[in-house]
Amino acid sequence: MVSACKVMGVSRPTWYRHRAPRAVTPVPVPQKERVQPATLTGSERARIKAFLIDEESANLSVSQVFYRTLDQGVYVASESSWHRVARASKLNGDRRVMATHKPKVIPELCASRPNQVWSWDITVLRSVDRGRNFRLYVILDVFSRYVVGWRLEPSEGTLEALDMITDALAGEHSKPEVLHADRGSVMTSIDMGKYLAKLGIVQSHSRPRVSNDNPFSESQFKTMKYDLDYPQHFRSLEHAREWTTGFIHAYNTEHRHSGIGYYTPESVHEGTWPLCQKRRQAALDAAWAAYPHRHHQRPRAHKVHTESWINNPQKRANRIARLSQRG
């Protein structure tokens, strides 16, 4: 065969290729026309959409609706499938606007249990009367995101803040080790420092003009002001107090917080979240048994974090290392 190929002036690979030509490749089927065994049925998509457009869910995000439905023992599809259905039906959206600032002296705080680190801040609620606004003071538990105390006043002052802290400590909550805040005049006042020192509570402050150093309080204010029922302007101080009372109660007891495994702040603060986790896992196990081909692995209900950090030094070091490698 080698001699014959040389006489003919044909290479052996060419000879063998002509003797055994390639099989005809079929025309590829477009991805959208292929049969996907794990795809949702039309009735399942309609069911998800019905949950999303329900009147009780109209003001909630897709994740909030998914976990509230899961807490009721109902599992239609994975959370990502809910988001795909929502995108296809134009039922989702992101209204957040993120801000970034350059770091300076960095506070580092870690909470591994409730009532270990509290953070607090003051925000402005607008009135219908031009030039007259209200001040909302809120204390948040860093580990559970639970609002342990709040106060709404016509103005900003140290006495009002001290009264709020006193009321929070007089309630069911134990004294925190650290109270974190930004560098507002009320937070850094001499009276505030003396009061906390007398109680044995360590003061911690954010860097100047760096809101990310108080992320939990800032995030709670954002959640409140981006609520679809939030009035842009309040008619009176009583109206503002009435609305805030309802919102904080719902935030503590009903809101599924993404930072704590989509459990409510109250359940994490009181330690009852494992009961909810068991109910979620039971619903996920039933879905796994019914449709195992829809999951790459057995779905697991979220657990609550073991630590909540304000400026975790390990994460910052890892980020710096990655940036240095790129450079």
Position of tokens 């970034």? 100
245 and 161 share one domain? yes
| pLDDT for position 215 | 93
> What is the domain-level CATH number for residue 148?
3.30.420.10
Whether 157 maps to a domain, the answer reads yes
Distant-in-sequence, close-in-space partners of 140: CB < 8 Å, separation ≥ 6 = 118, 119, 120, 146, 147, 148, 216, 217, 220
Residue-wise over 93-125: b if at least 16 C-beta within 10 A, else e? eeeeeeeeeeeeeeeebbbeebbbbbbbbbbeb
| pLDDT for position 95 | 46
- Comparing CA positions, the residue from 135, 132, 190, 201 lying closest to residue 166 is 201
Domain count, the chain: 2
C-beta of residue 228 within 8 angstroms of C-beta of residue 326: no
Whether 271 maps to a domain, the answer reads no
**Which residue among 260, 287, 315 closes a domain?**
260
142 and 77 share one domain? no
Looking at the chain, how many residues does it have?
Answer: 327
116 and 77 share one domain? no
DSSP code at position 213: G
Position of tokens 């259905």? 85
**Which residue among 230, 260, 290 closes a domain?**
260
- At residue 228's C-alpha, the angle toward residues 141 and 52, to 5°, is 100
214 and 151 share one domain? yes
179 and 214 share one domain? yes
| pLDDT for position 252 | 97
129 and 248 share one domain? yes
Output the CA–CA distances (angstroms, integers) from residue 318 to 207, 215, 305, 324, in the order listed. 21, 20, 19, 10
Q: SS3 helix, strand, coil % of the chain, rounded to 5?
A: 45, 15, 40
| pLDDT for position 181 | 95
Give CA torsion, residues 277, 278, 284, 289, to 10 deg.
160
Whether 173 maps to a domain, the answer reads yes
Position of tokens 């009147």? 55
Structural domain harbouring 59: 40-88
137 and 169 share one domain? yes
DSSP bridge pairs for 141: 118
Whether 60 maps to a domain, the answer reads yes
- Comparing CA positions, the residue from 299, 274, 272 lying closest to residue 285 is 299
| pLDDT for position 98 | 53
CA atoms of 54 and 59, how far apart (whole Å): 10
Bridge-based pairing of strands 178-181 and 117-126 is parallel
CA atoms of 220 and 230, how far apart (whole Å): 13
Tokens of 41: 């049925």
| SS3 state of residue 218 | helix
| SS3 state of residue 180 | strand
* pTM across the whole model: 0.78
| SS3 state of residue 145 | coil
150 and 187 share one domain? yes
CA atoms of 50 and 312, how far apart (whole Å): 41
- Comparing CA positions, the residue from 249, 230, 227, 250 lying closest to residue 240 is 230
| SS3 state of residue 126 | strand
| pLDDT for position 100 | 54
| pLDDT for position 103 | 47
| pLDDT for position 171 | 78
Residue-wise over 181-206: b if at least 16 C-beta within 10 A, else e? bbeeebbebeebeebbeeeebeebbb
73 and 150 share one domain? no
| pLDDT for position 79 | 94
CA 13 to chain centre: 61
Tokens of 32: 């959208």
Averaged pLDDT, groups of 10, the chain, 327 residues long? 76 80 80 83 93 86 93 94 92 60 74 96 95 95 97 95 94 89 94 96 90 91 95 96 97 96 97 97 95 91 94 86 77
C-beta of residue 214 within 8 angstroms of C-beta of residue 142: no
56 and 177 share one domain? no
